[in-house]
């Protein structure tokens, strides 16, 4: 039982890291990205390959995973971020499919559909992380989550965050105010991809194996659902969304009825969440904190007077 | 192998295969482009409408003639099933628009898009739940032995797909260009408010657009399940590629969707045989085409570049 709760806590942590990254892209900047799973896959495979074939340490591999995912974020970002919402959604969806296809077909590096097994557990602070003892994992993952949360919170409450929200509300008006929209959009995309890469790396190291079919379109949708359910454009709400969906999808296993419920039910529910939330409560369960411009301007004036 | 080493007959053979695939893409792309022309949003569930239409046709066909015969009665049953599939798809398309898109017509652009993705996932998984995930094959109602024309072999199925595809596309083009309803559709796509001031029932026109697009998708779905296979996720990749075809031709443009579909079908076929792209990476071709088109000619081949106004 305790093990099960720890497992849920670990998955919440991993998905929350990816979800906060996605929220920065979709919620704050208003770019619909459907390839968060591809960035997670890139992160997971980078970790898997560097730790098994090249014997890197986990933390080096994790940072590298984030960086590789971020580089792919820039690569896909530059050509596609000039696109409007719907086109961007399709292009990112296509990118996700391409990544999955390449992973499945590039046998010599990714071992194809079999995936990579036997990723060693990391060693740090005198502790060996293993599959048996989940407590160090939970602590590590939630520490990273706390860092990511704080990092994104700092971004969105700064000038950068206000620029991102301006782009979301009206891109033309934002660029008329002198915001370099391409730069901010690519920045948001890259940061989101970096965080997905970190999440993927944790995913691979914790499971000690990766398989390409885990990172399909449905995973992107699930993460999107988490952000939508909690409330787009609010990190706290995203974490709440992650908690609800992870618990809801793990409860059948806990109660022991998972073999009765076909896997499609989960996905039907994700679909229903998207449709119903959009029609009845587009701001999510928790909603979005409105910017208090009077306060911001006051602070800026105080800052200038100093 | 390159283009110049290929014997002419083989080239012609691939051309016919590519055209068949292209005709299917075109039929699907028309639905995307018509809806986009009027509502300016991507109907993500279009692929699932196609899939459900194909299942409807499949079940009726098997109900009518047990699926083992060919010949006169089977052909009649096939035509009835095809029409039934078109009706079911149209109905679905109209209902989905009512429930999931109409309440969001005035919402920010992200909302209908997310709603459409939701509908697509619901339908895909419900189909998997009720019909099973195994793939089925729609049997040919006629003898599908390939005909030898010189050194090229063409199956009767390919001929049917090409002929029916051309007839449907031509009649759609005529309908939109020549009839009153077609004119109303064009007016609605230019400016909804003014169109409704001119006495056009905009809601009816939008429903009609969904109905026509979905009916074409059902035909494409049946062709796909005859030429390839029938399974719950068949609409996903086909839908994506058809959308790319619509973008290549210029989204919102009817002739563009036809051209884009044919081009994409040819590119995929020739990409595999001539450039030697491995079969597993075939889907990559379409997405590369999308990114290239969006970079160099974002409004598509047949549309003029229009600068966005505030």
Give, to the nearest 10 degrees, the angle between helix B202-227 and helix B234-249: 120
Residue A290: pLDDT band by 50, 70, 90 thresholds? low
Chain A residue whose CA is closest to B287? A94
Q: Alpha carbon of A17 to those of A160, A221, B1: distances in Å?
A: 20, 15, 47
Residues from chain A contacting residue B121 (CB–CB below 8 Å): 218, 221, 267-268, 270-271, 274
Asked whether the predicted pLDDT for residue A48 surpasses 60, the reply is yes
Chain B residue whose CA is closest to A277? B115
Shortest alpha-carbon distance between residue A216 and chain B (Å): 13
The answer to whether B119 contacts A32, with C-beta atoms less than 8 Å apart, is no
The residue-averaged pLDDT of B246-275 equals 87
| Beta-ladder partners of A127 | A124
The residue-averaged pLDDT of B72-76 equals 83
Residues from chain B contacting residue A86 (CB–CB below 8 Å): 41-42, 109, 113
CB pairs under 8 A between A and B: 127
At A179, give phi and psi (nearest 5°): -85, 130
Q: Determine the pLDDT at residue B174.
A: 92
At B234, give phi and psi (nearest 5°): -60, -30
Residue B217: pLDDT band by 50, 70, 90 thresholds? very high
Mutate to test the interface with B, among A83, A267, A279, A282 (most CBs of B within 10 A): A279
Cα–Cα dist A142/B127, whole Å: 38
The pLDDT mean for chain B works out to 86
The answer to whether B114 contacts A221, with C-beta atoms less than 8 Å apart, is no
Shortest alpha-carbon distance between residue B181 and chain A (Å): 28
Q: Determine the pLDDT at residue B126.
A: 93
Residue B48: pLDDT band by 50, 70, 90 thresholds? very high
Residues from chain A contacting residue B237 (CB–CB below 8 Å): 97
Of A32, A82, A94, the CB nearest to B240: A94
């005859």: which residue's tokens?
B226
Shortest alpha-carbon distance between residue B178 and chain A (Å): 31
Q: Determine the pLDDT at residue A196.
A: 94
Least confidently predicted of A13-22, A171-180, B85-94, B176-185? A171-180
How many structural domains comprise chain A?
1
Chain B residue whose CA is closest to A176? B310
- Summarize pLDDT for A61-90 with one digit per residue, the tens: 889 999 999 999 998 878 766 666 677 887
Is A70 within 8 Å of A25 (Cβ atoms)?
no
The answer to whether B115 contacts A30, with C-beta atoms less than 8 Å apart, is no
Cα–Cα dist B113/A274, whole Å: 10
The answer to whether A278 contacts B107, with C-beta atoms less than 8 Å apart, is yes
Of A85, A272, A273, the CB nearest to B113: A85
Chain A residue whose CA is closest to B297? A83
- Summarize pLDDT for B162-185 with one digit per residue, the tens: 999 999 999 999 999 999 999 999
Distance from chain centroid for Cα A280: 25
Q: Determine the pLDDT at residue B309.
A: 46
Residues from chain A contacting residue B134 (CB–CB below 8 Å): none
Residues from chain B contacting residue A31 (CB–CB below 8 Å): none
The pLDDT mean for chain A works out to 84
Least confidently predicted of A89-93, A130-134, A229-233, B44-48? A130-134
Which residue did the predictor score with more confidence, B259 or A283?
Answer: B259
Which residue did the predictor score with more confidence, A93 or A122?
Answer: A93
Chain A residue whose CA is closest to B244? A90
Q: Determine the pLDDT at residue A199.
A: 94
Asked whether the predicted pLDDT for residue A31 surpasses 90, the reply is no
Residues from chain B contacting residue A278 (CB–CB below 8 Å): 104, 107, 111-112, 114-115, 118
The residue-averaged pLDDT of A150-160 equals 90
Q: Determine the pLDDT at residue B305.
A: 53
Alpha helices in chain A (DSSP H): 2-22, 36-52, 58-80, 85-105, 107-110, 135-156, 159-169, 171-176, 181-207, 217-230, 235-255, 263-280, 293-305
Cα–Cα dist A101/A110, whole Å: 11
Residue B12 CB-half CA count within 13 A? 10
- Summarize pLDDT for B271-288 with one digit per residue, the tens: 887 777 777 777 788 888
- 3 state SS of A117: strand
The answer to whether A89 contacts B42, with C-beta atoms less than 8 Å apart, is yes
Chain A residue whose CA is closest to B239? A90
Q: Determine the pLDDT at residue B310.
A: 46
* Domain range enclosing A102: 2-305
Asked whether the predicted pLDDT for residue B138 surpasses 60, the reply is yes
The answer to whether B122 contacts A271, with C-beta atoms less than 8 Å apart, is yes
**Token pair of B141 as six digits:** 């109602």
**What one-character-per-residue DSSP string does A225-257 give?**
HHHHHH-TT-HHHHHHHHHHHHHHHHHHHHHT-
Of B112, B120, B291, the CB nearest to A91: B291
The answer to whether B295 contacts A264, with C-beta atoms less than 8 Å apart, is no
Residue A145: pLDDT band by 50, 70, 90 thresholds? very high
Residue B22: pLDDT band by 50, 70, 90 thresholds? very high
Q: Determine the pLDDT at residue A207.
A: 86
Query: What is chain B's Cα-based Rg?
Result: 20
Q: Determine the pLDDT at residue A126.
A: 66
- pTM across the whole model: 0.85
The answer to whether A268 contacts B126, with C-beta atoms less than 8 Å apart, is yes
Mutate to test the interface with A, among B96, B100, B108, B114 (most CBs of A within 10 A): B114
Chain A residue whose CA is closest to B127? A264
The residue-averaged pLDDT of B113-137 equals 90
The answer to whether B118 contacts A282, with C-beta atoms less than 8 Å apart, is no
Asked whether the predicted pLDDT for residue B1 surpasses 50, the reply is no
């Amino acid at each position: 039982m305790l093990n099960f709760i720890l497992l849920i806590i670990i998955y919440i942590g991993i998905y929350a890291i990816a979800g906060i990254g996605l929220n920065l892209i979709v919620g704050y900047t208003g770019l619909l990205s459907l390839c968060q799973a591809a960035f997670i896959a890139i992160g997971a495979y980078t970790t898997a390959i560097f730790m098994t074939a090249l014997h890197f340490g986990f933390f080096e591999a994790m940072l590298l995973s984030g960086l590789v995912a971020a580089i792919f974020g820039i690569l896909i970002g530059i050509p596609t971020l000039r696109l409007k919402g719907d086109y961007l959604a399709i292009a990112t969806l296509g990118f996700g499919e391409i990544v999955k296809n390449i992973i499945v077909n590039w046998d010599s590096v990714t071992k194809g559909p079999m995936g990579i097994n036997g990723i060693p557990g990391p060693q740090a602070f005198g502790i060996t992380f293993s599959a048996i003892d989940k407590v160090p994992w939970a602590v590590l993952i939630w520490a990273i989550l706390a860092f990511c949360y704080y990092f994104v919170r700092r971004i969105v409450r700064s000038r950068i965050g206000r620029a991102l929200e301006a782009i979301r509300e009206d891109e033309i008006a934002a660029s008329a105010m002198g915001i370099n929209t391409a730069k901010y959009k690519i920045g948001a995309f890259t940061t989101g991809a970096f965080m997905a890469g970190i999440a993927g790396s944790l995913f691979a190291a914790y499971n000690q194996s990766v398989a390409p079919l885990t990172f399909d379109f449905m995973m992107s949708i699930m993460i999107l659902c988490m952000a939508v359910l909690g409330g787009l454009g609010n990190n706290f709400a995203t974490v709440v969304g992650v908690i609800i969906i992870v618990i809801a999808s793990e409860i059948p296993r806990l109660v022991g009825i998972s073999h009765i419920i076909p896997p499609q039910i989960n996905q039907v529910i994700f679909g229903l969440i998207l449709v119903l939330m959009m029609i009845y409560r587009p701001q999510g369960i928790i909603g979005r904190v409105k910017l208090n411009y009077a306060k911001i301007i006051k602070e800026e004036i105080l800052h200038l007077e100093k | 192998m390159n283009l110049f080493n290929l014997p002419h007959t083989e080239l012609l053979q691939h051309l016919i295969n590519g055209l068949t695939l292209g005709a299917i893409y075109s039929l699907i792309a028309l639905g995307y482009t018509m809806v986009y022309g009027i509502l300016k949003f991507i109907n993500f569930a279009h692929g699932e409408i196609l899939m459900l239409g194909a299942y409807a046709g499949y079940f009726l066909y098997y109900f009518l003639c047990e699926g083992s015969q060919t010949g006169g009665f089977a052909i009649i049953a096939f035509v009835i099933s095809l029409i039934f599939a078109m009706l079911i798809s149209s109905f679905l398309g109209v209902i989905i628009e009512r429930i999931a898109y109409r309440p969001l017509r005035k919402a920010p652009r992200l909302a209908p898009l997310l709603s459409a993705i939701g509908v697509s996932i619901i339908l895909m998984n419900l189909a998997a739940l009720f019909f099973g995930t195994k793939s089925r094959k729609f049997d040919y109602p006629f003898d599908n032995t390939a005909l030898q024309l010189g050194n090229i072999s063409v199956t009767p199925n390919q001929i049917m797909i090409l002929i029916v595809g051309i007839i449907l596309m031509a009649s759609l083009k005529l309908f939109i260009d020549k009839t009153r309803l077609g004119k109303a559709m064009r007016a609605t796509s230019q400016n909804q408010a003014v169109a409704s001031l001119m006495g056009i029932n905009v809601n009816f026109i939008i429903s009609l657009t969904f109905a026509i697009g979905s009916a074409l998708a059902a035909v494409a779905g049946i062709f796909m399940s005859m030429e390839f296979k029938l399974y719950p996720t068949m609409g996903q990749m086909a839908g994506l590629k058809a959308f790319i075809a619509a973008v290549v031709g210029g989204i919102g443009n009817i002739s563009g969707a036809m051209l884009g579909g044919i081009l994409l079908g040819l590119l995929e076929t020739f990409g595999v045989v001539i450039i030697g792209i491995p079969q597993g990476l075939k889907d990559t071709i379409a997405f590369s085409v999308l990114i290239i088109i969006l970079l160099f000619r974002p409004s598509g081949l047949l549309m003029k570049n229009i600068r966005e106004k505030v």
